[in-house]
Chain A
Amino acid sequence: MSDDDRALILRAQGGDVEAFSKLVESRWVRLVRFSRSIVGSSDAEDLVQNGLVKAWEKLAGLRDPGAFSNWVLRIVSRECFSHIRRHRRLISIESAPPPSDPANAGIESVDVEQVLSRLPARQRAVMHLTVIEGMTDSEIGGALHITPASVRSHRRRARETLDHLLKPAAPRGGEGYEIAGR
């Protein structure tokens, strides 16, 4: 973490809203991407904003300014998890709708959001931090407040589900994928 960021965090901890909004600005895109992988596009930004307001309220309790980024990530992840619990948006594999047209399920049309929606929320978070952020198990564990062994377990199960969901498409003109479903 840069000295500038550290200074901003200390100022924000002292009640400086402007300093906090600068911290938000530099982390916004990363947090929205993370949230989008967990809850989908429609609610991601609202939930990140809610999480950031909660982070502001808890900021005085953050002892290590160097842990700020992962700490905010954790707050946003909790916001996303509780949103999913509230709205029961998890679509089980059994109840997932069939793809609209498997013939068109080429690589460009893989509905990432639909595929991710079939994973449990924590698995989505682990997979996002692994695949998109490239974080190590211990970094992910630190961010999500779970052990590295638990990170590996979530990832393994997510991969099993994804392997099941993503099957090569019917041979209708080349490479492609369909989303397995009924």
Chain B
Amino acid sequence: MKSPEDDGLNDRFVQAWKRWAALPPRQSPAEAAAGVALRIRQRRGRRRSSWMLAAAAAILLAAVGTTILWRPARTVPHALPVTEQETMAPGKGEVLLWIDEQTPLYMTFQAPEEDQGQGGRQ
């Protein structure tokens, strides 16, 4: 159907255009259809692979997450009070006092003549 607005369009140009438009495509319809079908299948394949990859990544992530969350809490070794640890036994003339559970205080007693004697020697 020709629109009335085209009546004045250059007829020879229209004829040339129609001839040009009628030139056959480089690819035949059968080749083109095969090409389109191939591209669709390739895209499907790629899409399937990317879904599988995403699913595998999600499963791996879930497994790692679960492992982290359900891992038994690490046991921190309890700091023993010093009283329970080996403490140096007080020597001769020494008295051991406990300021608190973890703080020993050694006091050394010395006779005055010993001090003088040493001083005398010096």
**A-side interface residues toward B, CB under 8 Å?**
17-18, 20-22, 24-26, 28-29, 32-33, 36-37, 44-45, 48-49, 52-53, 56-57, 107-108, 110, 112-113, 115-116, 128, 130-132, 134-137, 152, 155-156, 159, 162-163, 166, 175, 177
Query: Is the CB–CB distance between A28 and B10 below 8 Å?
Result: no
| 18 interchain pairs, CB-CB under 8 A | A24-B32, A24-B36, A28-B27, A29-B24, A36-B21, A53-B40, A56-B40, A107-B16, A110-B12, A112-B16, A115-B13, A116-B17, A128-B21, A134-B2, A137-B3, A155-B3, A155-B5, A166-B10
3 tightest Cβ-Cβ pairs between the two chains A and B: A21-B33, A25-B33, A28-B29
Q: How many residues of B are counted as interface, with CB atoms below 8 angstroms from the partner's CB atoms?
A: 34
Which chain A positions have C-beta within 8 A of B107? none
Known A115-B13, A177-B12; further 16 A-B contacts with Cβ < 8 A: A17-B37, A25-B33, A26-B29, A28-B27, A28-B33, A36-B21, A45-B26, A49-B39, A56-B36, A57-B43, A110-B13, A128-B21, A131-B6, A136-B1, A136-B3, A175-B12
Query: Is the CB–CB distance between B6 and A29 below 8 Å?
Result: no
